[in-house]
Amino acid sequence: FKDCTSLTKAPVLPATTLAVSCYNGIFYNCSSLTKSPVLPATTLADSCYRDMFNGCPSLTEAPELPATTLADSCYWGMFYNCTSLAESPELPVTTLANNCYREMFRGCTSLTKTPVLPATTLADSCYSSMFNGCTSLTRAPVLPATTLADSCYKYMFLNCTSLSEAPELPATTLANNCYNVMFYGCTSLTRTPELSATTLANNCYTEMFQFCSSLNEVHCKIPSSYSSSQISSYASSWLLGVSSTGTFYTNADANWPSGVSGIPEGWNRVNEGAPTVDDVTKPLTFKATQDGS
């Protein structure tokens, strides 16, 4: 039904056993389609729903997605440019597949409610560009994963201009490109989450907060084992285009360079965990408890 611009109602799709790419692009650019069919399958196949509703700007409600077993690229671009979609379906699966949610809601400019994403072990590019261009999104879902994969969060919130709060990122061991361009262009974001990773990977922070023009507070505890040149490589241009003034919280002995691949010029550096001069010299004060102790 690709490019059937007058199609308003989808046919029934009763299959519970899917095949590779079976519904790939089936309603692509059906610009008058307002309601999706029921999708009862619980075990998916590679690319089975890929680009299924891509370019359906009249679609206001997503179908339930009861699948408990995902497959590579299964939901890739499923609701891409569904500009009237305000709420995502639930995505409770905890075992992911490569590219499974990639670009799933990209360009959904009305999306305000995201699904819970409970997985703690990720797959390559699983969330890449998932909410790219969701300009109405003000709050990100919780991201509890502690085991990352290559490019897992790459471009995830690119140009989400209303996003004002970033999710916590608890992983301490990173993967190649894992946070690459993750919050690029999030112009309402004022502070970063706590970045406490002690093991970095290629391009892990590259362009992560680039052009977040309101960003004025960064928390990053890169350990002193990384040299200034290594940090510049891992965090290449990550703070290009942020606020001209701000505060950068880091370890006292971290070898941060100055500039957009390190600590921006004009920002204050605060060494977390290290006592300040005031802390050392100011007199101690005590407060009595109710029993006078």
Print pLDDT tens along the chain (293 aa). 999 999 999 999 999 999 999 999 999 999 999 999 999 999 999 999 999 999 999 999 999 999 999 999 999 999 999 999 999 999 999 999 999 999 999 999 999 999 999 999 999 999 999 999 999 999 999 999 999 999 999 999 999 999 999 999 999 999 999 999 999 999 999 999 999 999 999 999 999 999 999 999 999 999 999 999 999 999 999 999 999 999 999 999 999 999 999 999 999 999 985 444 444 334 433 344 344 43
Give the full edge-to-edge strand order of the sheet including 191-195: 191-195, 217-220, 247-250, 268-271
pLDDT of residue 273: 56
pLDDT of residue 272: 84
For residue 54, count other CB atoms closer than 10 A to its CB: 24
Nearest C-alpha neighbor of 74 from the set 104, 54, 111: 104
pLDDT of residue 239: 98
Q: Where are the beta strands (DSSP E) in 17-130?
A: none
DSSP bridge partners of 199 = 173
Q: Which residue has the tokens 């052009």?
A: 211
Nearest C-alpha neighbor of 151 from the set 193, 198, 201: 201
CA-based torsion, 47, 119, 104, 179: positive or negative: negative
pLDDT of residue 276: 42
